[in-house]
A and B are shown apart, each in its own frame.
Chain A
Amino acid sequence: MAIASPQKSMSANGGPSAKSPLRVVASAPGAVQVDNLDHTYNVGGRVTKALEQIKLDIAPGRFVVIVGPSGCGKSSLLMMMTGLVTPTAGSVYCGGLPMTAPDPDRVGVVFQEASLYPWLTAQDNVEFPLSLRGVPKAERAARARDKLALVGLKGFEDRYPHELSGGMKQRVSIARGLVQNPPILMLDEPFAALDEQTRISMGDELLRIWEQTGKTVVFVTHSLTEAAYLADEIIVMSARPGRIIDRIDVDLPRPRTYAMMSTPRFAELRERIWNQIKTQAGS
Chain B
Amino acid sequence: MTLAVSTPAPRRLYVEPRTLRWILGLILLALWELLPRAGFIPSLFLPPLTETVGALLANAGDYVRHLLISLRAIGISMLFACGLGIGVGLLAGSIAPLRRVMLPLASGLYAVPLVILYPLFTAWFGIGPESKIAFASIYGLLPCFLGTMAGVQTIDRQYLVVARSMRATRWQMISRVLLPAAIPTVLSSLRVGGALVIVGVVVAEMLTSAEGIGYLITRYRTMLDSPRVFAGILVVVALVFAFDGLVRLIEYRTRNWRLSMRSGEPRN
Contacts and interface: CB of A to CB of B under 8 A. Distances in A.
A212 to B, nearest CB: 23
B19 interface: no
Nearest to A109: B165
A166 B268 CA distance: 5
| Most chain B CB neighbours (cut-off 10 Å) among A103, A118, A166 | A118
A115 B158 contact: yes
Interface stretch (A28-36, A43-51, A157-165, A249-257): A157-165
Contacts of B263: 162
Interface in B217-268: 256-257, 259-261, 263, 265-268
A193 interface: yes
A84 B162 CA distance: 10
A116 B265 contact: yes
Majority secondary structure, A binding face:
loop
Contact of A118 (B161, B169, B257): B257
B11 interface: no
B176 interface: yes
B96 to A, nearest CB: 17
B265 A102 contact: no
Interface string B141-184: 00000000000000010110111111111001000110011010
Contacts of A248: none
A279 to B, nearest CB: 33
B180 A113 contact: no
A162 B265 contact: yes
Contact of A193 (B162, B166, B176, B268): B268
A114 B266 contact: yes
A128 interface: yes
Interface in A67-104: 82, 84, 101-104
Contacts of A113: 158, 266-267
Given A84-B164, A132-B167, A119 B158 contact: no
B162 A111 contact: yes
Nearest to A105: B167
B266 to A, nearest CB: 4
A161 B158 CA distance: 15
Interface residues of A, number: 26
Interface string A158-197: 0011100110010000000000000000000000011000
Nearest to A118: B260
A129 interface: yes
A100 B256 CA distance: 37
B268 A165 contact: yes
A128 B268 contact: no
Contact of B180 (A103, A111, A119, A132): A119
A193 B267 contact: yes
Contacts of B267: 113, 193
Contacts of B164: 84, 102
Given A119-B180, A119-B183, A132-B176, A104 B165 contact: yes
Given A84-B165, A104-B167, A166-B268, A115 B159 contact: yes
Nearest to A166: B268
A7 B202 CA distance: 79
B28 to A, nearest CB: 39
Contacts of B172: 132
A163 to B, nearest CB: 8
B177 A117 contact: yes
A137 to B, nearest CB: 15
A169 B158 contact: no
Contact of A160 (B162, B165, B260): B260
Interface string A188-232: 000001100000000000000000000000000000000000000
A18 B2 CA distance: 68
Nearest to A104: B166
| Most chain A CB neighbours (cut-off 10 Å) among B167, B177, B261 | B167
Nearest to A116: B265
A101 B159 CA distance: 17
A30 to B, nearest CB: 18
A129 B166 contact: yes
A117 B165 contact: no
B262 to A, nearest CB: 8
Contact of A161 (B163, B169, B265): B265
B268 to A, nearest CB: 3
Given A161-B265, A194-B268, 4 more contacts: A102-B165, A117-B177, A118-B261, A119-B256
Interface of A: 82, 84, 101-104, 109, 111, 113-119, 128-129, 132, 160-162, 165-166, 169, 193-194
4 shortest interchain CB distances as A-B pairs: A118-B260, A166-B268, A113-B266, A162-B260
28 contacts: A102-B165, A102-B167, A104-B167, A109-B162, A109-B165, A114-B265, A114-B268, A115-B156, A115-B159, A115-B162, A116-B265, A117-B159, A117-B162, A118-B261, A119-B257, A132-B167, A132-B172, A160-B260, A161-B260, A162-B256, A162-B259, A162-B260, A162-B263, A162-B265, A165-B268, A193-B267, A193-B268, A194-B268
